[in-house]
Amino acid sequence: MPFDTQPRGAAAQESRSPTVDWYERATRELAGHSALHVAWAAGVAQDDDILALLDRLPRDRRQPSLIFSVATWLGAAATAYPQFRTWLLEHWPEVESAARQRRTQTNEVGRCAPLVAALARVPGPLALVEVGASAGLCAIPERYSYRFGDAPRLGSGAPEIVCAVDDPALVPSTLPDIRWRLGLDLHPLSAADDPDAAWLEALVPLDRPDRRERLRAALATARQDPPRVVAGDALAGLAAAVAEAPSDLTLVVVSLGTLVYLTPEARAAFPGAVRDLGARLVTLEQSGIADDTALPGRFVLALDGEAFAEASPHGDRLSAL
């Protein structure tokens, strides 16, 4: 069947796969993330042949960002949708196999800017445990440098992370004093492993060279002393991870866009579990997941469940609440 760009009829609307809704929603959710991925998602949402292939996958493996990252990892180019469609059809066996094995594990180091702003509110020295840590690039925020609005550059490491702010009170004056750190992830990656680094780069859209360059710089910094990341569930493995932390440090658990992937029950239990372990909690999540706000569709930065700033999903903007 040729690619059909015409709107679907009422009967098709009633019988269509939920995957259609997912990809149509992605055209809105990815709008500030990647114009390329928006175009690909719009094309898939209207393409019965590609949708039929996607529906052979388990639901959690049809995620637009995962499919597009797998395609990038396997060699797809930054092309318009018709060319991308042809590539998908020619390489579907490899895409399907990789999608069943891989998972989105983005180490978006831009989120370290909100993290540094939050950690400035916690007396140190600190022990940091990051859940959903991937390769742990966000567990070493003090090794990078930052420009918050018009404030002087903070730190001297690479990459330099730029974050717009609308309130000077949000701007940290020092980098966090982190003396011990540990990452927790279902499938740990290593910054020192070339295949792992290649997968992390594939998770960044091809039309975002700025973020790809920043990721490469962060990987280079991390390789000098790779942060330790252990295998474990964000909730079930938390107690064991926290138990390793030195008792004379202030313990902070960090979640940067991870809790949304937990089951609703685990997500609801997470803040209480952190509190019961005697730790502080820093979250950068969608509103209401781990904080006291009700701002649909927006990301908020919170400390111990109390939101104090709205943020962009990738951390390049902070606004006071």
Could you give the C-alpha distances from 175 to 49, 114, 120, 154, in angstroms and in order? 51, 12, 7, 7
* Polymer length of the chain: 321
Full set of structural domains in the chain with CATH: 10-101 (no CATH), 109-320 (3.40.50)
Q: What is the pLDDT of residue 16?
A: 65
pTM over 0.85, yes/no: yes
Tens of pLDDT along the chain (321 residues) come to 233 333 344 434 445 678 999 999 999 989 888 999 999 999 999 999 999 999 999 999 999 999 999 999 999 999 999 999 999 999 999 999 999 999 888 789 999 999 999 999 999 999 999 999 999 999 999 999 999 999 999 999 999 999 999 999 999 999 999 999 999 999 999 999 999 999 999 999 999 999 999 999 999 999 999 999 999 999 999 999 999 999 999 999 999 999 988 999 999 999 999 999 999 999 999 999 999 898 888 999 999 999 999 999 889 999 998
Q: What is the pLDDT of residue 15?
A: 56
